[in-house]
Structure 1
Amino acid sequence: MSLEKEHKINSLLRGWPQNAVYLTSWLVANGYSDQLLSRYKKSNWITPINNGAFVKSGDTPTIEGAVFALQSQGKFGVHPGGKSALNLLGKAHYLEFSRQQFTLFGNENERIPSWLKNYNWDMEINYYSTSFLPVDLGLTDIEVNGFSIKVSGAARAIMECLYLAPKKQELKECYELMEGLNNLRPNQVQQLLEACTSVKVKRLFLYLANKCHHPWLEFVNVGNIDMGKGKRQIVVDGVYDPKYKITIPKNLVDE
């Protein structure tokens, strides 16, 4: 191997964060040809993840490492959201969370690549492409193993939980998650609620925040939020709340 090629692979491996994924398309665009990548693979420097991505040999790719690749190299809007985001932010420590499931959200009509979908992550990956909130609103950066990824901030994450409720997310658990969010920033909550297009999410969010007696709710101007018209039956055989005009589970009312 020439000194130039040796420097090239050494430079790549030195800058490769632990357990992070690199997209084949990004590597090729940055001067690593398919032929060169094939040579690196044969030399056991890099290991393919199905077709379309690589991990540094000896590392175990993580779902956060996959998100890093999508966000920083593929310019995807995919991000950890819902309960997974709250867990990464340390906002769900009082509840038991397993790594058996991981929730990702993305932009409307945005698909996750087949290499991510087909890889065995030793957990179920649940992906939802939606437009009920603007693409970049309410996200925050976190550090994982030496690289940075964008995840839903706490306010957006609980709204994503409510978006999935009640079919894919229990409302009682949403209430338990909301209980821990006593220091949300009212201005960000205001922005998210005004931008949110789901009447169900907005009404449930305000209902739960009110039920938790969160002090920040006093600084949210509900008059500027479009709450929609008419009643919303969130669950069958529930209890009707006249303030927010929603039918909610009996076990939530009794809390």
Structure 2
Amino acid sequence: MSLEKENKINSLMQGWPQNAVYLTSWLVENGYSHQLLNRYKKSNWITSLNNGAFIKSGGTATIEGAVYALQSQGKVSIHPSGKSALNLLGKAHYLEFSRQQYILFGNKNERIPSWMKNHNWGMEINYYPTSFLPSDLGLTEIEMNGFSIKISGAARAIMECLYLGPKRQDLKESFELMEGLNNLRPKQVQQLLEACTSVKVKRLFLYMAHKCGHPWLEFVEVENINLGKGKRQIVADGLYNPEYKITIPKNLVDE
């Protein structure tokens, strides 16, 4: 191997976090041809993930490492969301949290690439493309052993839980998660609620925050939030709450 080629592979390996995924398209764009990547693969420097991405040989591809590739190299807004984000933030520790499923949200025009769909992550990946919130609002950045990714902050994450309810996320569990969010920032809550396009999410969020008695709710200007008109039946055979004009599960009312 020539000195130039040796420096090239050394530079790549030294800057590659152990569990991070690198997109094939990004590597090619940055001077690593398909021929060169095949050579690295045969030399056991890198391992292919379904013909669209690579992992550093000896490492283990993690779902967060895949998200790192999507965000930093693919330039998409796909991010850990809902319960998965709350777990990463340490906000779901009092619930029995299982990594049997992992929740991702992204813009409605973004898709999970095939290499990510086809890889066995040891859990079910549930991706929801939606634009009920702006893609850049309410996110936070966390460090993951050599790389960082953007995930939903606590306020956005609980709204994502409510967006999935009641069919894909139990509302009683969402309420239990809300109970632990006693230190949300009112300014960020205000921004998210004003930008949110889902009346269901906004009404459920305010109902649960009020029921929890969170002090930060006093500083949220509800009159500036568009809560829509008329009644909303969130569940069938529920109980009607006249303040927020929603029909909610009986077990939530009795909580």
Shorter-chain TM band: over 0.9
TM-superposed deviation, 1:74: 0.6
Aligned to 2:136: 136
Count of residues paired in the alignment: 255
* Large movers: runs of 4+ above 4 Å: none
Which residue does the alignment assign to 1:158?
158
Q: Tell me, what secondary structure is at the counterpart of 2:247?
A: strand
Give the structure 2 partner of residue 239 of structure 1: 239
Partner of 1:219: 219
How many Å separate the matches in 2 of 1:21 and 1:233?
Answer: 43
CA distance in 1 between counterparts of 2:66 and 2:159 reads: 24
Distance 1:43 1:97 in 2: 40
Deviations 1:158-202 (A, max 9, x none): 000000000000000000000000000000000000000000000
Q: How big is each residue's C-alpha offset from its partner over 1:135-174, in whole Å with a ceiling of 9 and x where there is no partner?
A: 1000000001110000000000000000000000000000
1:251 alignment partner in structure 2: 251
Partner in structure 2 of residue 197 of structure 1: 197
* Residue deviations 1:72-101 (CA, integer Å, cap 9, x gap): 001011000000000001111111111111
CA drift at 1:51: 1.4
Rounded Cα–Cα distance in structure 1 between residues aligned with 2:71 and 2:236: 39
1:66 aligns with 2:79: no
For 1:117 and 1:139, the matched residues in 2 are separated by 24
Q: Distance in 2 between matches of 1:108 and 1:74?
A: 16
Deviation (angstroms), 1:42: 0.3
CA–CA distance in structure 2, aligned partners of residues 202 and 104 of structure 1: 20
SS at match of 2:137: coil
Give the structure-1-normalised TM-score.
0.99
Does the residue aligned with 2:151 lie in a helix, a strand or coil? strand
Deviations 1:210-248 (A, max 9, x none): 000000000000000000000000000000000000000
**Two-structure CA RMSD over aligned residues (Å):** 0.4
Question: What residue is the counterpart of 1:37 in the other structure?
Answer: 37
User: Shift in Å at residue 108 of structure 1?
Assistant: 1.1
Residue type of the partner of 1:251? N
Distance 1:31 1:142 in 2: 29
**Mean CA deviation greater in 177-186 or 89-98:** 89-98
Quote the offset at 1:19 in angstroms.
0.6
CA distance in 1, matches of 2:97, 2:109: 29
Structure-1 separation of matches of 2:220 and 2:95 = 27
Residues in 2 aligned to 1:118 and 1:229: alpha-carbon distance in whole angstroms: 43
Q: What residue number does 2:105 align with?
A: 105
**Correspondence 1:186 to 2:198:** no
1:89 maps to 89
SS in 1 for 2:48: strand
Cα offset, 1:109, TM superposition: 1.7
Q: Residue 198 of structure 2 aligns to which amino acid in structure 1?
A: S
Within 2, Cα distance between the matches of 1:8 and 1:109? 36
Q: Aligned to 2:104, what secondary structure does the other structure show?
A: strand
Provide the C-alpha distance between the structure 1 equivalents of 2:230 and 2:51, rounded to a whole number of angstroms: 49
Cα offset, 1:18, TM superposition: 1.5
Matched residues in 1 for 2:146 and 2:238: separation?
A: 47
Question: Where does structure 1 lack aligned partners over 5 or more consecutive residues?
Answer: none
Separation (CA, whole Å) in 2 of partners of 1:102 and 1:177: 16
Question: What secondary structure is seen at the aligned counterpart in 2 of 1:247?
Answer: strand
Distance 2:17 2:214 in 1: 39
Q: Residue type of the partner of 2:22? A: Y
